[in-house]
A and B are shown apart, each in its own frame.
Chain A
Amino acid sequence: MLLVVLAVTFLAFASMNFLGDPLVNILGPIADESSGPEFAEIRAEARAEYHLDDPFPVRYARWVGDLTQGDFGRSFKNQQNVRTVIADKLPVTILLMAYAQLLAIAVSIPWALWAASRAYRFVDKASTVVSFGMLGIPVFALVVLLFWLFALYWQIFPTRFDDSGLGPRLWSLTLPAISLAIPLIATYQRLLRTDLISTLQEDFIAVARAKGMSTRHILFRHALRPSMFSMLTVFGIQTGALIGGSLVVEQYFGIPGIGRAVIEAIIRDDFPIVLAVVVIMSVLFVLINFLVDIAYTWLDPRVALND
């Protein structure tokens, strides 16, 4: 786990340093020697502050060392402490992602149970068509469509992010979360439905039916848990995709989250912020997948014995 995070930070740091001269990114045109000797002092200052004269491994080691102490460095552009920027913008992004995942799970599980218990009948086939439709729409198109329908036409949801308290915050995040959740819902529904259908063929389901248990009881109490493996695995992986999706959604809805911050930072070549976001997101991704691994043992007690 630690190794994965280290590898990600190394790759990110290396690419930020070798794709273009950091000094140019910090100072702009005056970074060039040819721009005149009057800027030589500024150049030397910047080099000293950002330790640009040290060899790459040393700089990397220093950066990682700072990271472990929660120091993400300073922005190239406005000298703001990156940590404050992140602390300011991360919570709303995490809220958005969690909201989207919760929505996706809350909708996909009942839907999959409903479809699997009617497998291959007309309604199941129809719902398959719907879910493939949901998978097929790209996020940027979905965002525009939902925004137009629910925020402009019917005016159910606000058009802008409202930060005046938890209630308004959640309410104004609903439409963005739905946009993010729709492809997730379809993915989870597909996977869970397929696994449920095969679980429902198992002998222990027939045994439960022979015990006279209700269909509802059998679906929720017997079939659901052993059918959740693929869904859970993809839940972990999709968390990564969600980070990408939130870039688009935050931009479109004007949510002051990390996604918007990183896009702005990339445009301005503000690498410390980009690096910080990459590190935080990769740590988050690894952490969630670690939790997923733990959840396997809850899903199936036999997993624990295989260690």
Chain B
Amino acid sequence: MMSDNLLEVDNLGVTFNTPEGKVYAVSGVSLGVSKGEALGIVGESGSGKSVTMKSIMGLLPRTAEITGSAVFDGLDVFDLPKGRRKHFYGVDIAMVFQNPMTSLNPVKRIDAQLTEGMRYHDGLSHSAAKEHALELLDLVRIPDPVKRLRQYPHELSGGMRQRVVIAMALANEPALLIADEPTTALDVTVQRDILDLLDDLRRELDMALILITHDLGVVRDRTDTIAVMYGGRLMETAPTAAVFADTAHPYTQALQRSIPDMSTPRGTQLDPIPGSPPDLAFAPTACPFAPRCTYATDECASAIPPFKSTPSSADHSYACFHPCGSAAEPAASV
């Protein structure tokens, strides 16, 4: 992968030590985002997408064991220099969480929550911070910001709250914003607004964005690159267009088939993926998707498929013994 990336994750592994033994939440994940770029991480629940990002944000519990590396702008994220750590999160990388209903402190007014980050990191005065807070609410398109600042979170709707959470994340102009399923808990009508807002803000502020979602449709028009995760491993990474035009991994293919779009005729049976996600309590020894994969052979159940690039593009990589699309062709000719 290119080394001029803003964030470069290499061979990341996260295991949790639980009373029932180890849980292998993430293994062998390598990702990169360059400045101003949007990366989508797609996967179902338990695929390790959130854990990956939480490890980068330093939000994992003490029971988590992290291996591999994550380098942000030349800094080792897992071993930040002391002076840098104090003003790293919230300044260089910020995060927006899944549920806006619980992301804000219920007993603090919006202004206190919006301004504390800038006051702490930038040492802004009370009035300067307040002014900046107003600008931020404007930026995330909240009407009547003066009034909103004096309100408590419970006086705002879910969509409004997520806008506030986004404004909070933007307070110190981070170079990278991680949005972990930012619309999952919202009404369908509001979801699109929030996603479009994130997209606009990324362009306006020239900020890199990692958008985590379980919905391929969400990242389709809003990202430059997509990474598909399953069972704690990376299945496929590719430029967004290639993911749809030249799908290499059967799991990505299955994901696409299970989601309807506007061209799907009414009454069509969707294609759900049979079976359920893998139990992560065992050290990975096989392709995690093999038990549910229609192309799976004995090989898939006995070895981990290596992560390699397709012949057509160095940016398009996948981990599968029996790929589809153009990746399958050279294999067939052997």
Contacts and interface: CB of A to CB of B under 8 A. Distances in A.
Contacts of B165: 207
B160 to A, nearest CB: 16
A105 to B, nearest CB: 19
- Chain A contact patch, size range: 20 to 34
B313 to A, nearest CB: 34
B99 A203 contact: yes
A214 B107 contact: no
Interface stretch (A19-27, A156-164, A299-307): A299-307
Nearest to A225: B107
B102 A202 contact: yes
Given A204-B102, A207-B168, A209-B59, A214 B108 contact: no
A212 B116 contact: no
B121 interface: yes
A118 to B, nearest CB: 10
A299 B91 contact: no
B102 A214 contact: no
Contacts of A300: 106-107
B152 A206 contact: no
Nearest to A212: B90
A207 B117 contact: no
Given A204-B104, A221-B116, A211 B152 contact: no
Contact of B90 (A213, A221, A305): A213
B78 interface: no
Nearest to B101: A203
A211 B116 contact: yes
A100 B99 CA distance: 42
Interface string B83-111: 00011111100110111001111111000
Contacts of A209: 57-59, 89
A204 B152 CA distance: 14
B86 A214 contact: yes
A296 to B, nearest CB: 11
Nearest to A222: B105
A215 to B, nearest CB: 11
A221 B107 CA distance: 10
A227 to B, nearest CB: 10
A226 B88 contact: no
Contact of B152 (A207, A212, A222, A302): A302
B90 A203 contact: no
B107 A212 contact: no
A212 B89 contact: yes
A204 B88 contact: no
B282 interface: no
Contacts of A301: 106-107, 152, 154
A96 to B, nearest CB: 33
B108 A210 contact: no
A210 B86 contact: no
Nearest to A301: B152
A203 B180 CA distance: 12
B157 to A, nearest CB: 15
A217 interface: yes
B153 to A, nearest CB: 9
B107 A299 contact: yes
Contact of A211 (B86, B94, B106): B94
A210 B178 CA distance: 10
28 contacts: A203-B98, A203-B99, A203-B103, A207-B104, A209-B57, A210-B57, A210-B89, A210-B97, A210-B169, A211-B90, A211-B94, A211-B171, A212-B86, A212-B89, A212-B91, A212-B121, A213-B90, A214-B86, A214-B120, A217-B116, A217-B120, A221-B108, A221-B116, A222-B108, A226-B105, A226-B106, A301-B152, A301-B154
Interface of B: 57-59, 86-91, 94-95, 97-99, 102-108, 116-117, 120-121, 152, 154, 165, 168-169, 171
The 6 closest A-B pairs by CB, nearest first: A212-B90, A212-B89, A211-B90, A203-B102, A210-B95, A211-B117
Given A211-B89, A211-B90, A214-B120, 19 more contacts: A203-B97, A203-B99, A204-B102, A208-B105, A210-B59, A210-B94, A210-B95, A211-B117, A212-B87, A212-B120, A213-B116, A213-B120, A221-B116, A226-B106, A226-B107, A300-B106, A301-B107, A302-B106, A302-B152
